[in-house]
């Protein structure tokens, strides 16, 4: 049981009167990449937003590393090592690349550690080092995604929630991002990945869940999902 990083029990979330999640149960184990698949509006992003505390669940329980974080505000769950890279990247345009990365380590007091982490991020994404003094708003879409992930890594995540990291990117950049995700995972990060690009996500994922209108309708290990006829028909195409 101790290798469970994240566990959602019967999570329900509403936006006003609209019910977005209708009892989600999922488990992410240490060292895994878990994919969360589903069509537009199925509730994938809402699931991540509920986990990180940006929206409050109306019922259910979220356990992170053995602690109940159901009611924790977003800025507190971050301090425990749960980092959410939101959909659309949400980098701070108008601030420099370096300032964006600095803010990623807002909770950190030690400048020496901050510098070490930044070097590690620059190792993963060398382009960010070249552009460190530039306005983040001037980066290309792929570079912005790298910055969003780099900013998250500045916080040394124990669990990384990635929302559509490949959205709007050219195919070779999608591959690049997926390569980095695999690399992060190999160096010990546990990842919950939301993707429209089910094919790319299932190639990486150890385990996957399929969401449909706020409910989990299918779950299995990555390989089985990849070969499941229903998944192939609905999300992977032929």
Partner 1 sequence: MSNLDIILQQLANGLILGSFYSLVALGYTMVYGIIKLLNFAHGDIYMVGAFIGFSILSVVSGILGDGWTGIVATMALSMIAVGFIGVIIQRIAYRPMLQAPRLSILITALAVSLILYNLVMSITDGEFKAFTVGLGYEGISMGEVYITFTQMVLVSATAVLMTILHLFINKTMYGKAMRAISIDQDACRLMGIDVNRVIAVTFFVGSALAAAAGVMAGVYYGSIHFFMGFVIGLKAFTAAVMGGIGSIPGAMLGGLILGLLESFGTQIPFIGSEWKDVFAFGILILLLVFKPTGLLGRTEIERM
Binding site for partner 1 (CB under 8 A): 52-54, 73-76, 78-79, 83-86, 90-95, 99, 102-104, 106-107, 151, 155
Task: Name the minimum Å distance from CB 141 to partner 1.
Answer: 17
Pairing, β 18-29 against β 159-163: unpaired
Question: Helix 111-124 vs helix 141-153: angle between axes, to the nearest 10 degrees?
Answer: 140
Task: Name the minimum Å distance from CB 199 to partner 1.
Answer: 28
Task: Name the minimum Å distance from CB 66 to partner 1.
Answer: 20
Q: Among residues 89 and 225, whose Cβ is nearest to partner 1?
A: 89
Q: Among residues 98 and 196, whose Cβ is nearest to partner 1?
A: 98
Instruction: Please report which residue ranges of 55-164 form alpha helices under DSSP H.
Output: 74-79, 97-104, 111-124, 126-130, 141-153
As a 3-state breakdown, the chain gives helix, strand, coil percent values, each rounded to 5, of 40, 30, 30
Q: Among residues 102 and 212, whose Cβ is nearest to partner 1?
A: 102
Buried (b) or exposed (e) across 68-82, using 16+ Cβ within 10 A?
ebbebeeeebbeebb
> Which backbone phi and psi does 89 adopt, to 5 degrees?
70, -45
Task: Name the minimum Å distance from CB 86 to partner 1.
Answer: 6
Task: Name the minimum Å distance from CB 230 to partner 1.
Answer: 34
Q: Among residues 132 and 182, whose Cβ is nearest to partner 1?
A: 132
Pairing, β 67-68 against β 18-29: unpaired
Q: Among residues 100 and 166, whose Cβ is nearest to partner 1?
A: 100
């Amino acid at each position: 049981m101790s290798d469970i990083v994240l566990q959602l029990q019967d999570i329900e979330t509403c936006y006003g009167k609209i019910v977005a999640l209708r009892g989600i149960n999922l488990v992410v184990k240490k060292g895994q990449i878990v994919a969360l698949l589903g069509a537009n509006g199925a509730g994938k992003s809402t699931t991540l937003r509920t986990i990180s505390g940006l929206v409050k669940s109306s019922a259910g329980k979220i356990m992170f590393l053995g602690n109940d974080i159901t009611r924790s505000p977003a800025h507190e769950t971050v301090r425990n090592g749960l980092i959410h890279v939101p959909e659309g990247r949400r980098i701070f345009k108008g601030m420099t690349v370096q300032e964006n990365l600095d803010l990623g380590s807002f909770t950190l007091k030690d400048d020496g550690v901050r510098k070490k982490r930044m070097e590690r991020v620059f190792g993963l994404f060398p382009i960010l080092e070249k552009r460190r003094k530039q306005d983040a708003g001037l980066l290309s879409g792929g570079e912005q995604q790298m910055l969003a992930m780099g900013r998250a890594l500045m916080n040394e995540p124990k669990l990384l929630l990635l929302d559509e990291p490949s959205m709007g990117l050219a195919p070779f950049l999608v591959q690049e991002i997926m390569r980095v995700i695999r690399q992060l995972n190999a160096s010990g990060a546990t990842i919950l990945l939301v993707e429209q690009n089910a094919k790319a996500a299932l190639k990486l994922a150890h385990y996957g869940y399929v969401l449909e209108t706020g409910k989990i309708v299918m779950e299995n290990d990555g390989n089985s999902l990849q070969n499941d006829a229903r998944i192939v028909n609905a999300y992977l195409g032929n």
